[in-house]
């Protein structure tokens, strides 16, 4: 099967400089695409995968896939984690070790006595999704309480605050007055999450990043310059789900 899928993928306009391979994983149900830190691509397929369906799925993802491969080939790849016992994950600046536990009726990730517990998984991608969902849920609860005093400092009231996957962005200010944060920010200390919250709250008043924007930011965060330096150092190390 892997040779058949290999042939189907070989017919696509995959750049010649890419290093890629196909592996069959019987426990998979759908196509999985893994991009290694060096830019190599692994296509993981179920044993009964339809070669043409796999090729069509890869073709539809090619633009984004090409961007990610290029970034990693030039040393700009995002951090990758191996979902095995002992791997370190941060939550609000504190480090917790991963512990893989036997799956039961509760298939959610949870923080238990200092350990981040992950139920047994069928694939690294499934585990990454579960952990991202955990960060998202915890982030929603944390920001719902955190945003009120920061909104008061900035003199604005957001319509809503959500935590979700924002791709390459860390925060977003929506036209309807809502703001969003990337779930990966929940790995940072609270003061640095506050920095992004204040940034997006300020955009509700001042759209551009000019002098007026900076003045409002400083009114809410007196140590703005220090926080921005800390964020610039921490941001490249934030895990966004790559496994």
Beta sheet of 20-24, edge-to-edge order: 20-24, 41-45, 32-35
| Residue 173 tokens, joined | 């200010």
Candidate ranges 64-68, 107-111, 132-136, 234-238; pick with highest mean pLDDT: 132-136
User: Residue 224 has what pLDDT?
Assistant: 92
User: Closest Cα to residue 101, out of 77, 113, 88, 118?
Assistant: 118
Q: Is 29 exposed, middle or buried (0-12, 13-18, 19+ CB in 10 A)?
A: exposed
Q: Strand pairing of 94-101 and 115-119?
A: parallel
Homologous superfamily (CATH) of 135-237 is: Metalloproteases ("zincins"), catalytic domain (3.30.2010.10)
Q: Is the pLDDT of residue 1 over 80?
A: no
Q: Is the pLDDT of residue 37 over 70?
A: no
Mean pLDDT, range 39-55, rounded to an integer: 88
130-172 pLDDT, tens digit per residue, is 999 999 999 999 999 999 999 999 999 899 999 999 988 899 9
> Distance between CA 108 and CA 111 in Å, rounded?
10
- Lookup result for tokens 């930011």: 217
> Distance between CA 171 and CA 179 in Å, rounded?
7
172-227 pLDDT, tens digit per residue, is 988 889 999 999 999 999 999 999 999 999 999 998 888 898 899 999 998 999 99
100-109 pLDDT, tens digit per residue, is 998 776 678 9
- pTM for the model: 0.69
> Distance between CA 80 and CA 239 in Å, rounded?
7
Q: Where in the chain is the domain with CATH 3.30.2010.10?
A: 135-237
């Amino acid at each position: 099967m892997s040779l058949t899928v290999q042939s189907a993928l070989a017919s696509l306009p995959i750049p010649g400089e890419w290093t890629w391979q196909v592996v069959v994983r019987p426990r998979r149900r759908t196509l999985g695409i893994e991009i290694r830190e060096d830019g190599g691509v692994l296509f993981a397929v179920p044993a009964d995968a339809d070669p043409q369906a796999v090729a069509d799925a890869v073709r539809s993802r090619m633009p984004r896939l090409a961007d990610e491969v290029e970034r990693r080939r030039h040393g700009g790849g995002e951090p990758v984690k191996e979902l095995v016992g002992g791997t370190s994950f941060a939550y609000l600046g504190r480090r917790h070790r991963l512990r893989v536990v036997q799956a039961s009726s509760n298939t959610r990730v949870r923080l238990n006595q200092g350990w981040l517990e992950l139920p047994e998984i069928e694939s690294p991608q499934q585990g990454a999704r579960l952990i991202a969902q955990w960060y998202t849920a915890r982030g929603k609860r944390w920001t719902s309480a955190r945003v009120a005093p920061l909104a008061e400092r900035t003199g604005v009231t957001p319509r809503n605050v959500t935590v979700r996957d924002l791709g390459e962005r860390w925060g977003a200010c929506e036209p309807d007055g809502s703001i969003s944060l990337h779930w990966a920010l929940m790995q940072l200390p609270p003061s640095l999450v506050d920095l992004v919250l204040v940034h997006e709250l300020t955009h509700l008043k001042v759209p551009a990043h000019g002098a007026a924007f900076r003045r409002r930011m400083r009114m809410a965060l007196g140590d703005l310059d220090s926080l921005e330096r800390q964020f610039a150092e921490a941001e490249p190390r934030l895990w966004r789900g790559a496994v």
